[in-house]
Each structure stands twice: as C-alpha cells, then as structure tokens.
C-alpha cells in the first residue's frame, strides 16, 4: 500500500512505520491515524514480520500530538480524531511494537509510545503529557496504561503538572525501557527488534494477549481464546471428528478425539 503521511519499510523480520510529518512535529491527523491503523492491520495478516518499530521522521520529533485540520466541526464522531482506532490497532496486533523515540513525545505522542509494548529513546528525547494545560485530556489509554507503567500517584502527577521529562528520568520511573546515545538510536533500535524477533512468534503473541486481557475485557480475553487457543484447536483430532460427525449426521466417537 502507498501512504500519504507515513512510511512503511520491511527489513527482514522487522517492519518500521515512520510518522512522516516532520514539518509539523509529526502530529497525527485523521489521515495519519487511519494510515497507521490500516498499515498495522496489514501487518497483522502476514507472517513476514515478527516485530514492528514505530518512530518519527527527522531528529526533533517523535510525535507532539494531533491536529484536526480539515475535519468536520462537530462534537459527534466525525469531528473526533480517530486516535483510539490507532491505539487499539497497536494493542491488538499479535506482534510486539517498539516505540523508537527520536525526539519529543508530547501529548498524544506520549500516549502513543505508552501504548506500544516497549520503548527505546535517544538521550535528548523529551516526554511530556500536556492535556489539561492545552484544553485536552485522555481518559483511557493515556491514564490506565500510564498507571500500569509508573504507578497511580506518579501518573496523576504527570497529568496534573504537565512537566517535561528527560529520557533518563523517563527510564528511571519506568515510563520507557532503554536510553541510548542519540547517534545510536537507529542501530540500537534494530538490535532490540532483532533480539525480540529471535523469540517464538506464537509465544510472544500469547504473552501480549495475556497482558492485554486484563484491560481488554471481553475483547482482550477473546484475543487469547479466539485468536490463539481456537486457532490451535481447529486442527486437532477432536475438532476434526466433531466436524465430520456433524456433517455425516452421526454421533461423534470420543475415542477418535486424541490430543
């Protein structure tokens, strides 16, 4: 697929999505949200890639939030940035997603990296949650998931005071995983991605599903039982015998269930 506001490149088992609006802080628009969602849904349906990297174009901004230019001026869904569709796509993807922070991660951009499975950042990166000071807030992914990372008291402080956080401080409080020298970000991100890609794809998908089940409700549980367990059950002797007996209008033979 071709995209207007993101770039997608595959290199071996690693797929990299780059938010490509550096002249505007890589702020996500309605188009970018949909493109990231669609790109991830495409990645979900193939087995070439085992790890996804999300980063920003340039060396100043990862992402500094969203912009509603061109959207309908309404309080209904047509006037709301589809950020949840983007966050949800990352959350539901059965492959680990690494946020590679190449600059400022502010507002929705910080929420975006919080939603990713792990985060690596360059030393000069800055993190900030600005909602209440700019007339906005995030009552879902940006609060619950942030609390999981840094604890309730600190998460509230981050939202209430909107302070700037260095990469070193972000790592210290558990907001991110790794900090590397600026000039090594691309190299270290790939090393991180390949390290994860060497693990079992099904095991990683199961682990991610287990982590997400707690917050996902019925959707989260279904990711484990439907996407993972059911996919394995379909090919068993039991499933085959039950399907055949139903089609042949006979009573199933339990001795043929096997394992």
User: What is the per-residue pLDDT across 213-249, written as a single tens digit (0 to 9) for each?
Assistant: 877 776 666 666 666 666 677 778 888 888 889 899 9
High-pLDDT (> 90) share of the chain, %: 66
Neighbours of 136 (CB within 10 A): 12
Residue 208 to residue 74: CA distance in whole angstroms: 36
Task: Give the containing element (helix H, strand E) for 244.
Answer: helix 237-247
Q: Identify whether residues 61 and 172 lie together within a single domain.
A: yes
* Main-chain dihedrals φ then ψ at residue 103, nearest 5 degrees: 180, -135
Q: Identify whether residues 131 and 243 lie together within a single domain.
A: no
Q: Identify whether residues 29 and 143 lie together within a single domain.
A: yes
- What is the rounded average pLDDT of the residues 81-91? 90
Q: Identify whether residues 226 and 138 lie together within a single domain.
A: no
Question: Is 48 within a domain?
Answer: yes
The partner residues of 106 in beta bridges, in order of sequence, read 128
* More confident call, 175 vs 73: 175
3-state SS assignment for residue 8: strand
* Main-chain dihedrals φ then ψ at residue 46, nearest 5 degrees: -130, 165
CATH code of the domain in which 136 resides: 3.90.226.10
Question: Is 55 within a domain?
Answer: yes
Q: Identify whether residues 109 and 173 lie together within a single domain.
A: yes
Compute the mean pLDDT over every residue in the chain, rounded to the nearest whole number. 90
CB 6 within 8 A of CB 39: yes
CB 129 within 8 A of CB 82: no
Tokens of 94: 């059965």
Residue 97 to residue 119: CA distance in whole angstroms: 9
Look up the pTM and report it.
0.88
Conformation bin of residue 178: beta by default, left when phi > 0, alpha when psi is -120 to 50 = beta
Q: What is the pLDDT of residue 224?
A: 67
Conformation bin of residue 133: beta by default, left when phi > 0, alpha when psi is -120 to 50 = alpha
Question: Is 208 within a domain?
Answer: no
Q: Identify whether residues 154 and 225 lie together within a single domain.
A: no
Q: What is the pLDDT of residue 230?
A: 64
* More confident call, 153 vs 81: 153
Q: Identify whether residues 141 and 193 lie together within a single domain.
A: yes
* Main-chain dihedrals φ then ψ at residue 225, nearest 5 degrees: -75, -40
Q: Could you list the residue range(s) of the whole structural domain that residue 222 is in?
A: 215-248
Q: Identify whether residues 164 and 222 lie together within a single domain.
A: no
Q: Identify whether residues 167 and 226 lie together within a single domain.
A: no
Q: Identify whether residues 131 and 236 lie together within a single domain.
A: no
Question: Is 121 within a domain?
Answer: yes
Question: Is 12 within a domain?
Answer: yes
Q: Is the dihedral of CA 212, 214, 215, 217 positive or negative?
A: positive
Q: Identify whether residues 63 and 161 lie together within a single domain.
A: yes
Angle (nearest 5°) at CA 40 between 225 and 148 = 65
Question: Is 255 within a domain?
Answer: no
Question: Is 83 within a domain?
Answer: yes
Q: Identify whether residues 151 and 71 lie together within a single domain.
A: yes
Domain count, the chain: 2
Give the CB-side neighbour count of residue 55, counting CA atoms within 13 A. Answer: 24
Question: Is 33 within a domain?
Answer: yes
Residue 126 to residue 157: CA distance in whole angstroms: 17
Going by C-beta distance under 8 Å and a sequence separation of 6 or more, which residues neighbour residue 172? none
Q: What is the pLDDT of residue 2?
A: 87
């Amino acid at each position: 697929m071709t995209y207007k506001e993101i770039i997608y490149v595959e290199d071996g088992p690693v797929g990299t999505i780059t938010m490509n609006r550096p002249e505007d802080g890589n702020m996500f628009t309605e188009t970018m949200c949909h493109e990231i969602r669609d790109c991830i849904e495409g990645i979900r349906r193939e087995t070439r890639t085992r790890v996804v990297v999300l980063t920003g174009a340039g060396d100043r901004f990862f992402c500094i939030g969203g912009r509603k230019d061109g959207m309908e001026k309404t309080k209904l869904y047509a006037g709301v940035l589809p950020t949840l569709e983007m966050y949800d796509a990352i959350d539901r993807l059965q492959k680990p997603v690494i946020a590679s922070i190449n600059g400022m991660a502010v507002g929705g951009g910080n929420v975006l990296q919080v939603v990713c499975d792990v985060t690596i950042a360059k030393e000069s990166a800055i993190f900030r949650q600005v909602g209440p000071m700019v007339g906005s807030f995030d009552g879902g992914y940006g609060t619950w998931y942030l609390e999981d990372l840094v604890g309730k008291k600190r998460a509230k402080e981050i939202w209430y005071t909107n302070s700037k956080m260095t990469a070193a401080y972000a790592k210290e409080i558990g907001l991110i995983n790794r900090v590397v020298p600026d000039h090594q970000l691309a190299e270290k991100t790939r090393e991180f991605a390949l390290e994860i890609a060497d693990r079992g794809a099904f095991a990683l998908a199961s682990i991610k599903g287990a982590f997400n089940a707690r917050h996902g409700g019925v959707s989260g549980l279904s990711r484990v039982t439907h996407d993972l367990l059911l996919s394995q059950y379909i090919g068993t002797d039991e499933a085959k015998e039950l399907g055949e007996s139903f089609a042949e209008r006979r009573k199933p033979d339990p001795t043929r269930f096997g394992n």
